[in-house]
Structure formats: C-alpha cells, structure tokens
Amino acid sequence: MNAHEIEYEIYGSEMQYVEIALDPGESVIAEAGSMMMMESDIRMETIFGDGSGSEHGLMGKLMGAGKRLLTGESLFMTVFTNEGRHKEKVAFASPYPGRIIPVDLTTLSGRIICQKDAFLCAAKGVSLGIAFQKRIGVGFFGGEGFIMQKVEGDGLAFLHTGGTVTERVLGPGEMIRVDTGCLVALTHGVDYDIEFVKGIKTALFGGEGLFFATLRGPGRVWLQSLPFSRMADRIIAASRPGGRKNEGSLLGGFFDGNNR
C-alpha cells in the first residue's frame, strides 16, 4: 500500500469529529482549518497540493494548487505527522452539523468522486484532483455539481455531509434523481448528468430549483439531507428585516422589536 495505514474513531452525533491515531512516522492530510486537537509529538506542516507524491517538481505542485482553486478550496493542504516514539492522536472537526463518512478506497476501486466541499481529511498518500464532467449540460447547468473532487488512492478518506446521510446502491441501469446540493459522493461507475425540470410552472414555482442530478447505476451513491448552501440560504433569509415575521407563535410579530 502507498497510503499510510491509520486508525480512527468518530465521536459525537450532530457535530461530529474524527480522532485519528498515528504510529511513529505516519501522516494524515487535511483541509486547512479543520484540525481540532493534536497531541504533543504531532508536527503540523502546510504544503502545496496534497502531499501524495503524484505532483513532481514545483510546476506539478503549482498545477495541483491551481486545481484546488478551481474547486473553491484553499491553495494549501496541511500534513500532520507523528514524530514521536509512540502512537499519537490528532482530531478533525465537522464544519457544520452533519455526519463524517469514513471511506476505504481499496474497496471502491481506488477512486471516489465527491462534492468540492465534502473532503475533510485522509491518510497521506491519498491524492485529490478535479473530476470534470463529460457532458456539456453538466458544465453549464450543474451548479453545485459542476466541479467535483476526485479522491484517489488505497487508503482511508473522510467526507463530511450535512444533516442526515444515506447510502444508495444502484443496480445496472437503475436511476434516481436528486437535488444537486444533496449529492455528496458517488463511485466511479455511476453515470452522472444534469436534467432540466420539465414544465414551466414546476421550474418557476416548484421551489426545488431548475435542475437536478440524474444518477444511473451500477454503483454506490451518498446523499445528504442538508446541503450547506441550503442552510446558508435559510440563515440569510431569516436575518433580513422582516425575514422572521411569519415564524413562531401568533404573538411573535406582536412582540417583535419593530412593533415596540
């Protein structure tokens, strides 16, 4: 195996974190800002790319960093290495309410495709890239699903999801339609496309957006009930003047500060 073999345990329910135990010399990579705790002999280093060794030389590292910019992520990754003589632990926290999914890439043909903000951390040796979609419809209308991340290797990776997560196993030719933001990850064999919502009234007044993803098996698909973009939209809407006037009890508006 090229990737480091790591041990882990996930704690919590709504706001989870994953604690990873590293043997001497072992490392884990993570998104900048996701670390919650690390023990005394863990050394933290910020690097270009993902540290997998797949990007050779300065130009390779710059290209890897540029690809991460396209996915909306930071130019940098952080590597945590155990430089002590005994097993040491480092923990990474969820950025918002949801679940952490452990993914063993050796059981998924060494590759998984996920939303650009779903990756949390992985064993060193796992590489991150861009999974451009083949169809032009996906490129123009995919929204959150336009640029996906490709996670490759033979080690453990951890994805973060919003709300409740469910896994669907699709048989050959079996198809489901999902909101683009609710799609977390899919295995390499799943066919992915974007479909326009039919019917002008449905498109304009349905409240589900103009496009949704069609996923066709065979393969495995992970879905989330609360995309971060949907939660952010609700928070922004509620924070606007009068945004909460119809919420709560019938007396809520009467006791609102604007009516005093």
Q: Is the pLDDT reported for residue 146 higher than 70?
A: no
Query: Cα(63)–Cα(49) distance, rounded to whole angstroms?
Result: 8
Residue 142 has a pLDDT of 43
Query: Cα(56)–Cα(234) distance, rounded to whole angstroms?
Result: 44
Lowest pLDDT segment from 125-134, 147-156, 217-226: 125-134
Nearest to 220 by CA among 68, 103, 87: 103
Is residue 28 within 8 A of residue 7, CB to CB? The reply is no
Is residue 25 within 8 A of residue 12, CB to CB? The reply is no
Query: Cα(13)–Cα(11) distance, rounded to whole angstroms?
Result: 7
Query: Cα(68)–Cα(48) distance, rounded to whole angstroms?
Result: 10
Residue 134 has a pLDDT of 47
Return the residue matching tokens 């060494």. 110
Q: What's the whole-number average pLDDT of the chain? A: 79
24 preceded by cis ω (within 30°)?
no
Is residue 107 within 8 A of residue 144, CB to CB? The reply is no
What is the pLDDT confidence band of residue 136, given thresholds at 50, 70 and 90? very low
Which range among 58-72, 177-191, 207-221 has the greatest average pLDDT? 177-191
- Cβ burial of 187 (10 Å; 0-12, 13-18, 19+) is buried
What is the pLDDT confidence band of residue 248, given thresholds at 50, 70 and 90? very low
Sequence-separated (6 or more) residues with CB below 8 Å from residue 122? 3, 28, 29, 30, 151, 153, 155, 156, 157, 158
pLDDT tens digits for 57-71? 555 555 555 555 555
Q: pLDDT: is 247 or 131 the higher one?
A: 131
What pairs with residue 93 in β-bridges? 17
What is the pLDDT confidence band of residue 197, given thresholds at 50, 70 and 90? low
Structure tokens at 111: 């590759």
pLDDT tens digits for 69-122? 555 555 678 999 999 999 999 999 988 889 999 999 999 999 999 987 899 999
Residue 180 has a pLDDT of 82
